[in-house]
Amino acid sequence: MSYERPDGHTFSLYLNGGAGTRRLDGSPAARGHPGALCVMPQGHSSEWEITDPFEFVHLYVPDDQMRRMFAETFDRDSRLMALPEVTFAEAPLLARTLRELTNAMFADDHLLAEEAMTQTISDFFVDRRYGGMRPCAISGGLAPHVRRRALEYVEAHLGETIRLQDLAAIGQLSPFHFQRMFRASYGVSPHGWVAHRRVERAKSMLRGTDPIAQIASACGFSSQSHMTRAFKLGTGVTPSAYRQQQ
């Protein structure tokens, strides 16, 4: 089995078996086993020999989502994110959350699966053995104080129309330069960030009893159907199904 510079980052956990699996372009003596963790960063190629059946779970995370979550977790520029390549490592905390993700998917529990996925990536970032930050200077992104003010503006105006020129004015930049520098700092466009935050606020409000149409308006969606489309794209379920799972 060969992976040729795949898009996105991959977290893999061996659930059962794995002794018949070894990495051909790595240490030939290392073999898979239950609880073994592998991490394949975006763009890394690898070759594997598989001679026996085994069970494993793959979690695929697009690069832009990974960088957005890094920026949220550490309040740091997304370009500082560093993902090392990991093969057959012992990581009990990450193994536990990946098993929870597997069980949630078998149970068709999207909410629990989403929580397990978020926890897995968060645990990876804070584990100094794996999810550290690049020890290098960077340039070209938004200054820290501009990042904070822009995010504060977004949170304060989620229920309203948020315009690119208004965000750009915070940093005294042109809309073109603000959008380019925002993406560099957060891994996603301003539109992608706002869409994510609106879904997150909707998730919080759905734990209450307000009508979904009212929540849609409070979160800045143009209609309930607009919120349903965006919510399902971001979570895999509709707002009604999410509320029922609470």
129-142 tens-digit pLDDT:
766 666 556 667 88
Q: Is the pLDDT of residue 17 over 90?
A: yes
Angle at 209 between CA 207 and CA 213, to 5 degrees: 100
Task: Write the pLDDT tens digit of every residue in 39-54.
Answer: 999 988 889 999 999 9
Topology of the domain comprising 2-126: Jelly Rolls (2.60.120)
Name residues whose C-beta falls within 8 Å of residue 199's C-beta, 6 or more positions apart in sequence.
219, 230, 231, 234, 235
Per domain, the residue ranges of the chain are 2-126, 144-245
Q: What mean pLDDT, rounded, does the chain reach? A: 88
For the chain, give the longest Cα–Cα distance: 60
Q: How far is residue 169's CA from residue 106's CA, in Å, rounded to a whole number?
A: 47
Do 159 and 202 meet the contact criterion of CB atoms below 8 Å apart? Answer: no
Work out the average pLDDT over 223-241: 91
- Say if residue 56's pLDDT is above 70: yes
Say whether domain 144-245 belongs to CATH 1.10.10.60.
yes
Q: What is the mean pLDDT of residues 145-169?
A: 93
Query: What pTM, to 2 d.p., does this model score?
Result: 0.75
